[in-house]
Chains A and B, each alone.
Chain A
Amino acid sequence: MKILTGNDLKTGAVIWWTGVGWSLDVDNAADVGEHGAAVIAREEGAQNVFAAYVIDGEKTAEGVRPAHIKDRIRALGPTVRPDLTRKASDPEAVNWVI
């Protein structure tokens, strides 16, 4: 699947295109198929996102996950600070982030 990510203008937070809007949760990322470029043009133009780009992703048992390690860390948090990942209470972040 192709998923679309970028950064929130005010906060810089990593956000994901859900098909109708933007979410902080990669699990809500929608498959944009071949429409990524059009969504980027529209959403960046409306100042809803910046630095947006399309990446490869896949649906897994844990949820939607980017294909490349860099994007997985970007989506889920730094492997060396479990407290700053999406599962802050799980000390074994490295096992599921990458």
Chain B
Amino acid sequence: MYKYDEYDQQMVDTRVAEFRDQVRRRLAGDLTEEQFRPLRLQNGLYLQLHAYMLRVAVPYGTLNSAQMKVLGDIADKYDRGYGHFTTRQNIQYNWIKLEDTPDILADLAKVEMHAIQTSGNCIRNISSDQFAGAAADELIDPRPYAELLRQWSSFHPEFLTLPRKFKIAVIASDTDRAAMRLHDIGIKMVKNANPENGGGEIGAQFYAGGGMGRTPMIGPMIREFVPLDQLITYSEACLRVYNRYGRRDNKYKARIKILVHELGRDEYVRQVEEEFRHLLTQGIEPPLAELERIKPYFADPAFETSLSDDLDLSDPDFRLWVERNTHAHKQSGYVIATVSLKPVGGIPGDASADQIRLMAQLAKDYSFDELRVTHAQNIVFPHVKKADLYTLWQKLDDAALSTANLDTVGDIIACPGLDYCSLANARSIPVAQKISQRFGSPEKQAEIGELKLKISGCINACGHHHAGHIGILGVDRKGVENYQLLLGGSEGADTSLGKITGPGFDEDGIVDAVEKATQVYLSKKQDGERFLDTYRRIGMDPFKEAIYG
């Protein structure tokens, strides 16, 4: 994985020193909260419902063991013994003290981490496929390109005060595991299909104007192919047009999705192409040598060859976990293993300091020192030798980390909701807990199969409810929590937005409604259909009838 050079380290260390001084001035009364607020937000420090909350960036979700261990240590030393992995592949701490923050950032800097640009109207942490560099189905590893974009976007002076926050995802396989088309810019690494234009070369396909929030949009493709030696220039053009014409007059219309929608895709593309042509004359593209410098950091680890693909699946619990929580690796003899942070009745995305440190050690012992955070709030060991898989599973099982429910109804994405978030209107976590308990049995989950359920506690959609096969949105009805049900969303290659079924429910009512929806699916499904497939085939009416009938 990427290693900081002297410039990276110096930038992060300088920022820590700068923020330490800003905190000192704030505590001394030399800065008002109004003056200090933008400074702390630039360092990922929010004020949430109970205390300060610190959001730490995990670039494209990739961590090494030393970094993961420090994340666990911070949870113990400065927080209340746990952290929360987020839908942006980051981690948040909910009980941070301002006076401790400079020391936390210094601890992070020692392992090449920071909290810069995890808040504010700038380009946020770049997300990617959690299986990057390991997946059997990927064209190439997307992370060198994500890293190049990270370097371009970090402290980019022109894009630190955009009309609104800006999120970029980079993938390189047809199976979209990063909700790419629901980002401000989505980039898919592809081979050039045009033989007249260097057919077969690697480049980037661009999508723009996707997003969730109060106005969900699926980003349209804006350019089929951008050559690698124009990747940054084209990105700059996309951002420049947005920065110039984004709706700064209205916070709720300030995201790029509104600009693309209001201009129309074709007009936005015309303006981007015009800016692109201009920028090509300015020579802003870094030399390809920089990309070549970055690539070796993401080279394959030293995989053993000629390993057996055999697995002893005689332990039924292990067998279930293998079936549910592992994916094919590009290297024979290896497998990708995902740790579900969704135990039955648990809090989605939360892990204790001990669990975080254990996963760090297990990555060191069994996954070439690497882990990934997924946007579904789980943790991945990307490179596990099949011969080690049972031992790894046993160690996870001892730490209550062996829940076998990936991509099932129990693997729920949920935002922190009203239990932690000052923006939330309703609690998300208790609903997730009740649903995971209702559908807790492995038999039930197996019967229902793949079902992605996502819960947000407000319209900002941090819980991705628009993209759930079943989505739940918590709202405030005169001081009482109410939950709307959505069906038919997807964040995959078949991206779609869920539709609201009808009137909302109370906390118990929404759990019943989810169960009724699954009963409709089970009674109507045809061979091989997922919940989403059945919904798309039969439409909303049978579900509404069952839920409200």
Contacts and interface: CB of A to CB of B under 8 A. Distances in A.
Given A7-B47, A9-B27, A80-B430, A51 B33 contact: yes
B171 interface: no
A23 interface: no
B419 A80 contact: yes
Contacts of B366: none
A32 interface: no
A74 interface: yes
Contacts of A80: 347, 419, 427, 429-430, 433
A4 interface: no
Contacts of A50: 33
B3 interface: no
Contact of B479 (A9, A10, A68, A79): A68
A1 interface: no
A12 interface: yes
A34 to B, nearest CB: 23
Contacts, number: 62
Interface string B415-433: 0001110101001011001
Interface string B471-483: 0000000011100
A69 B99 CA distance: 29
Nearest to A97: B419
Given A12-B52, A80-B429, A47 B29 contact: yes
B458 to A, nearest CB: 11
B80 interface: yes
Interface string B26-69: 11010001000000000000010111100000000000000000
A73 B47 contact: no
A44 B47 CA distance: 16
Interface in A9-27: 9-14
A71 B500 CA distance: 29
Contacts of A67: 479
B99 A14 contact: no
A79 B419 contact: yes
Interface in A80-94: 80-81, 84, 94
Contacts of B418: 69-70, 73
Given A68-B479, A69-B418, A78-B420, A11 B29 contact: no
A68 B27 CA distance: 31
Contacts of A7: 47, 51
A11 B49 contact: no
B487 interface: no
B97 interface: yes
B96 interface: yes
Contact of A12 (B51, B427, B430): B51
B278 to A, nearest CB: 44
Nearest to B433: A80
13 contacts: A7-B47, A9-B26, A9-B98, A10-B97, A11-B97, A13-B50, A44-B33, A51-B47, A69-B480, A74-B50, A80-B419, A80-B429, A81-B347
Closest 5 CB pairs of A and B: A12-B52, A78-B419, A12-B51, A50-B33, A11-B97
